[in-house]
Structure 1
Amino acid sequence: MAKITYVEHNGTKHEVDVANGLTVMEGARDNNIPGIEADCGGACACSTCHVYVDGAWTDKLPPKDAMEEDMLDFAWEPDADRSRLTCQLKVTDELDGLVVQMPEKQI
């Protein structure tokens, strides 16, 4: 289990425990965290679960695959280093303490 902090665009923080094996997106969905829409349900077919990963975590996460890179092209104001799709981040104990910030909007 990992404690993940989701930060809304307005600065509101939500700290939740997310079970190993779920995705960061599922943790947000299951805990009613606003700002992650997840329209495709986690199929990496949209960009509505886009977040900015805290800079301290960018090198600790698995690299983006080609499909995630392609979908991030459709995200709101993507950042080359910090943008990730939460549906592509599997929760493990190693993600304990992860902080992600939602963009101003999802598209």
Structure 2
Amino acid sequence: MSKVLGFAAIAEVATGLALLAIPSLVGQLLLGQQLAGVAIPVARVTGIALIALGIACGLATPLMGMFAYSSAVTLYLAYLGSTGEFAGALLWPAAMVHAFLSILLGRALLTTAASSK
């Protein structure tokens, strides 16, 4: 892995972690406005995506990055649905699709790991 790609991967993971933990502050620093309302869960899903991008592009494999993204989004969407604050018509179907994808990606990871031994 090139040093530039490694640095970019680490920077994306750091930004993603910041968006997960303190999305409003990140919004203030990047956009000059604090995030509020529906922008908070959108920023957190974006944070999950940036972490997965960093995993896929430098810290592990693309398959691991997609598994991390789909699994984390499944959990976060289920959390949002269970709290009831945000619950659009497609929230639970999206959570179920990501759960199914997580299972498929997890099986692919296990198959890849077993075949490389």
Structure in which a larger fraction of residues adopt strand: 1
- Structure showing the higher helix proportion among its residues: 2
TM-score (norm 1): 0.29
Between structure 1 and structure 2, the one with the greater Rg is 2
